[in-house]
Structure 1
Amino acid sequence: MNSITNNTMLVKQMNQEKVRQALIAMRTATKAMVAQATTLSIATCNHILNELLDAGEVLEVAMDDSKGGRPAKMYQYNMHHSYIIAAVIKTEAGSRSLTYAIANLAGEIVDQGYEEHNRIDPAFIDRVIERLILQYPQIRAVGIGVPGAVDQGVINVSDIPELTNVPLEAFIREKHKVEVILENDMNLTVYGFYHKQGYDEKQTVAVVTFIDGSLPGAGMMVDGRIHRGFTRFAGEIAFLPLGISQEAQFQQLHDRKTFHVLAARSVASLIAILNPETIALTGSLVQPADVNIIRQECLKYIPDMHMPQMILLEHPDQDYMYGLIARTLESLAYSLELVEKGK
């Protein structure tokens, strides 16, 4: 296949994606409305809409109200044409689990489930995904959230040794022919939390978690974007040089007599580096009254004028799943965006 044919196909794919995203955003639209939103010609939109209509991706709905003459056809994207899997892997207090949600293109959950297993390894994850794809053949993307640092689709630091240094993202993508994202749990939690707030301007926020049975971690949004760092190690606050070993850190965080002082040192470090608008504390080790105690401890290091709003994130799992669904849906559009940029 020559370069001209390749370029023609890429342009067609990108135009199709523009029409898809416009319809998903507008819910219902005429050809003229789609053309205006995408800056494509009416003729191009007409051709693409007819193709998507034949494929079942687009539905014709009630006609637009007419001011006289022939009413314009209305189109709606079929949100159930494709599904995604959002799989959350957790380890807490010795228990390991995988929680999944099947969502449509509007982010609406159509099915969900929970499985505990004493060995969460690539084989177990693959079995769950394979079963769900057989049940829902329209699945086009899989998002996996994990407790650990992820770089180029590989987990390099994790509380689950069986997942460390395994090319899980590439394995799932190649075997099941779907888009795949593998992302750190705290990045997804802060992403979900951030977008639920509906900020008018880009902000810097952080979510810090203190979980029973684990060392602490953090997720950060800097100026409206997930901050991952050079090797995707950002947020691994268990590695802060606090002057004690990780074993001692673990013990002190699980002791109510020493929890607040040590937690505040980690939080204060984030404040000094990020200067965030908001820090949300979460995790099973954090009680509602702890937020103010930790804030007072932070004031020993940070001037009051630079202190962020500090809140308790009571339902982090909801933000986590929200963030994972959103990022997985975005991956369907990102694949064409990367082609457009020549990456």
Structure 2
Amino acid sequence: MKKEINIIREQNLNAVKHYFFTHQSALKSEVAEQTNISIVTINSLIKQLVAENIIIEGDKIKPNLGRPSNIYHFNYHHAYFLLISVEEVTQENEKKLALRANVVNLAGEIFFEETCLFTTFTIDYFLELIEQFLAQIEEYPIKKIGISFPGKVYQKKIVSSWYNKFNDWELETQVEDRFHLPTFIQNDAHLVTIGSSLLHHVEREQTVVGIFYPDRSMPGITLFAQGHLIEGRHHLAGEAKYLPNLISQNVTESTSALKQHLVEILEMYNAIIAPDRFIISADAIKKSELEAAIYNSAILDKQINTAEIFIEEQFALSLKIGLLWLVTPEEGYYRNEPT
């Protein structure tokens, strides 16, 4: 019985935290009304959240009816995160990797940003760069580290990566052991898709297929259904370089070939998954050209499923939101949970 009471209290606590997170400020009476939790329980929960510095007690305000009451505000500064994205960059017509580091609070506000080339493909060098970032941000009490990565991780080991440069690295474990901070690593294509879904308020019940197709690179594909990633065996679902039409191909150089391959992926996944929505991020193709190629697909025209096709042009913002989703699994602030 005690266990059941604790579970109910935890559910109520999460509902109150999520309400404040999405509404910023509220009176106790408003929270009780909107969450269907009794005012007695709300009083107890808010007292706990104030003690934990998750919400802050504000001034008394006088409502239209009744006595003055304190207003409470969500404290977006009670947690800071170091978000690192491993990204392709082009220098002198050559593809390279860079680490982009941001320090953000729970609202996603950026307080620190730095980018440096990743030139030596060793785990020690990767850890050295993180150490350099942390040395510059000592004023921010970092709670967790989130890493966006061009590859796949299974049981904390990298099983597929950018030109196989990181295969077999146990990066998450190494980062946690070195810096004693909870660390989360996820595929970049997955995080862009999830971030875009949250950014544009895609309904949790929808099935989403994301296609991330960088310039002169192989695409990554994401399956995101009812708020959950579908990663497959060894988390290898969505490794598009193994699709029948791409497995024997070199990296696409021309825009016309990239458009062709992207439309073929749409046609395949529309038939196999029948999603509610496709989210496409392909900055090498003009939006108008991509829309025309999709519109002219005779196969999509014949297929019975008519998914919404959305072209995401806010890559950096989508990735940041995806990383915040990654590092806040317990809090649920970015999990699109119903309140």
- Using the size of structure 2 for normalisation, the TM-score is 0.78
State the Cα distance separating 1:61 from its structure 2 match. Answer: 0.8
Contact 1:101 1:110 in 2 (8 A): yes
Q: Within the alignment, does 1:132 sit opposite 2:129 as a pair? A: no
Distance 1:331 1:308 in 2: 29
Matched residue of 1:271: which SS?
helix
1:198 alignment partner AA: H
State the Cα distance separating 1:233 from its structure 2 match. Answer: 1.6
The residue correspondences of 1:145-160 to structure 2 (distance < 5 A) are 145-159=148-162
Structure 1 equivalent of residue 111 of structure 2? 110
> Could you list the per-position Cα deviations for residues 38-64 of structure 1 after superposition, in whole angstroms to 9, with x for gaps in the alignment?
777766655664555455443221113
Structure 2 equivalent of residue 333 of structure 1? 331
Structure 2 equivalent of residue 272 of structure 1? 271
The residue correspondences of 1:164-243 to structure 2 (distance < 5 A) are 164-200=167-203, 202-242=205-245
2:325 alignment partner AA: A
State the Cα distance separating 1:322 from its structure 2 match. Answer: 2.3
Looking at secondary structure, tell me which structure has more helix per residue.
1
Contact 1:102 1:111 in 2 (8 A): yes
Distance 1:28 1:296 in 2: 45
Structure 1 equivalent of residue 316 of structure 2? 317
Distance 1:32 1:171 in 2: 47
Percent identity reads 21
Matched residue of 1:279: which SS?
strand
Contact 1:272 1:302 in 2 (8 A): no
Contact 1:96 1:119 in 2 (8 A): no
Pick from 21, 24, 29 the counterpart of residue 24 of structure 1.
21
Distance 2:164 2:139 in 1: 30
Distance 2:126 2:4 in 1: 37
Distance 1:206 1:277 in 2: 8
Distance 2:256 2:25 in 1: 58
Structure 2 equivalent of residue 287 of structure 1? 286
Gaps in structure 1 of 5+ consecutive residues: 338-343
Q: Within the alignment, does 1:75 sit opposite 2:77 as a pair? A: no
Matched residue of 2:268: which SS?
helix
Q: Quick one: structure 1 residues 144 and 292, their matched pair in 2 at CA, closer, same or farther if it must change by over 3 Å? A: same
State the Cα distance separating 1:184 from its structure 2 match. Answer: 0.8
Q: Quick one: structure 1 residues 285 and 50, their matched pair in 2 at CA, closer, same or farther if it must change by over 3 Å? A: closer
Contact 2:283 2:313 in 1 (8 A): no
Matched residue of 2:61: which SS?
coil
> Could you list the per-position Cα deviations for residues 58-96 of structure 1 after superposition, in whole angstroms to 9, with x for gaps in the alignment?
322111315677533332232112111221111245211
1:172 alignment partner AA: V
Distance 1:186 1:24 in 2: 26
Q: Quick one: structure 1 residues 23 and 267, their matched pair in 2 at CA, closer, same or farther if it must change by over 3 Å? A: closer
Distance 2:295 2:331 in 1: 44
Q: Within the alignment, does 1:85 sit opposite 2:82 as a pair? A: yes
Distance 1:224 1:297 in 2: 31
Structure 1 equivalent of residue 101 of structure 2? 100
Distance 1:18 1:312 in 2: 32
Q: Quick one: structure 1 residues 39 and 315, their matched pair in 2 at CA, closer, same or farther if it must change by over 3 Å? A: closer
Distance 1:169 1:11 in 2: 33
Matched residue of 1:249: which SS?
coil
Gaps in structure 2 of 5+ consecutive residues: none
Contact 2:259 2:290 in 1 (8 A): no
State the Cα distance separating 1:255 from its structure 2 match. Answer: 3.6
Return 156-165 or 44-53, whichever deviates more: 44-53
Distance 2:173 2:8 in 1: 26
Q: Quick one: structure 1 residues 98 and 306, their matched pair in 2 at CA, closer, same or farther if it must change by over 3 Å? A: same
